């Protein structure tokens, strides 16, 4: 009887867990957007600018969004290929669910939680380690591009530009280190991945970086902001670097993005409201939209017995 009762409880919990997680994520996302400082301060002006965006301009933004997350899903699929193979569609689903949790957690740490939900029970901790490799590869690309950008545009602490090159070299050495780690890094030995996988991760991370850049450049074009392409590329590379090392949730991330891009393009005397519109548009497409989709995908989540 106890076993039957336990099965009934598990069945009930299994049917409701997806809905519960959906409610939690949906409510958290709603609260973050509702109390967004940019939207509270400039809501009407941003809405006015957004209404001027044409269908073709929206279409390209959404197309780049799709390419971005297809790329991320491919990275996740490659990482899990040998021990927890996923179809491309399921990999994309887990990535989007990860975005739902990442949206309202510090340093986007919820991405780890969302992704491992769909892994087999014995593979969850290994999944965390694999995602860490993926994030590290993305960080290296960001660090490389940012270190280059700092030599051309660094309005604060100019001496920092000299730290970039050695940090990049150290980061790549650690990433490609094939030997056995010792001391406090010894646990990393068991979590190593193949050199071929590391190279694929780097190439896909570079592709993701380029997609992000193109999205921003397109958004700047949409709002007709007069800034040369090279200057914009340099400013964005420094902004991405700063964002990668500043702990934040998606809400404060947008505020920081807006302030950084205004600071980095200050010499061009651009209307700060237009730059805030650019940051808000990219944030809505790259973070808010996938978080909403991921929250709805949670409705199909079931526990594994």
Q: What number of CA atoms fall less than 13 Å from residue 183's CA on the CB side?
A: 0
Render pLDDT for 144-162 as a digit per residue (tens, 0 to 9).
Answer: 999 898 888 766 667 777 8
Q: What number of CA atoms fall less than 13 Å from residue 160's CA on the CB side?
A: 16
Task: Assess whether pLDDT exceeds 50 at residue 216.
Answer: yes
Render pLDDT for 176-185 as a digit per residue (tens, 0 to 9).
Answer: 876 655 665 5
Task: Assess whether pLDDT exceeds 70 at residue 263.
Answer: yes
User: Mean pLDDT across the chain, nearest whole number?
Assistant: 81
Burial of 299 (0-12, 13-18, 19+ CB in 10 A): exposed
Q: Report the percentage of the chain scoring pLDDT > 70.
A: 75
Selected residue with higher pLDDT from 89 and 103: 89
Q: Can you tell me the distance from the alpha carbon of 97 to that of 25, in angstroms, rounded to the nearest whole number?
A: 10
Q: Can you tell me the distance from the alpha carbon of 252 to that of 164, in angstroms, rounded to the nearest whole number?
A: 25
Selected residue with higher pLDDT from 45 and 43: 45
Task: Please spell the DSSP secondary structure of 212-224, one letter per residue.
Answer: HHHHHHHHHHHTT
Selected residue with higher pLDDT from 189 and 11: 189
Q: Report the percentage of the chain scoring pLDDT > 90.
A: 31
For the chain, the structural domain boundaries read 2-300
Q: Can you tell me the distance from the alpha carbon of 196 to that of 178, in angstroms, rounded to the nearest whole number?
A: 12
Residue 135: what pLDDT? 93
Confidence bin at 2 (pLDDT 50/70/90): very low
Task: Assess whether pLDDT exceeds 90 at residue 257.
Answer: no
Task: Assess whether pLDDT exceeds 50 at residue 276.
Answer: yes
Residue 305: what pLDDT? 43
DSSP assignment letter at 225 = -
Confidence bin at 39 (pLDDT 50/70/90): low
Task: Assess whether pLDDT exceeds 70 at residue 188.
Answer: no
Is residue 153 a contact partner of residue 234, using CB atoms and an 8 Å limit? yes
């Amino acid at each position: 009887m106890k076993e039957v009762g336990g099965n009934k409880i598990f069945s009930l919990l299994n049917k409701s867990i997806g809905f519960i997680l959906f409610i939690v994520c949906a409510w958290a996302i709603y609260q973050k957007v509702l109390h967004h400082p940019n939207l509270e301060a400039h809501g009407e002006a941003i809405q006015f600018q957004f209404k001027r965006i044409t269908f073709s301009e929206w279409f390209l933004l959404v197309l780049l969004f799709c390419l971005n997350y297809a790329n991320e899903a491919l990275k996740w699929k490659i990482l899990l290929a040998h021990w927890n193979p996923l179809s491309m569609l399921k990999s994309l689903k887990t990535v989007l669910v990860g975005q739902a949790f990442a949206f309202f957690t510090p340093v986007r740490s919820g991405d780890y939680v969302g992704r491992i939900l769909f892994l087999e029970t014995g593979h969850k901790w290994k999944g965390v380690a694999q995602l860490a490799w993926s994030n590290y590869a993305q960080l290296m690309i960001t660090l490389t591009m940012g270190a280059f950008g700092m030599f051309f545009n660094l309005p604060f602490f100019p001496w920092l530009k000299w730290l970039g090159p050695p940090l990049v070299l150290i980061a790549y050495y650690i990433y490609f280190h094939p030997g056995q780690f010792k001391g406090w890094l010894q646990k990393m030995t068991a979590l190593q991945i193949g050199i071929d996988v590391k190279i694929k991760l780097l190439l896909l991370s570079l592709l993701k970086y380029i997609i992000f850049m193109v999205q921003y450049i397109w958004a700047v074009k949409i709002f007709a902001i007069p800034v040369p392409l090279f200057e914009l590329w340099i400013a964005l590379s420094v902004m991405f670097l700063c964002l990668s090392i500043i702990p934040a949730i998606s809400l404060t991330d947008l505020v920081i993005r807006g302030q950084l891009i205004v600071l980095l393009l200050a010499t061009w005397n651009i209307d700060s409201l237009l730059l805030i519109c650019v940051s808000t548009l990219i944030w809505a497409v790259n973070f808010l939209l996938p978080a909403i989709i991921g929250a709805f995908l949670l409705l199909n989540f079931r526990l594994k017995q």
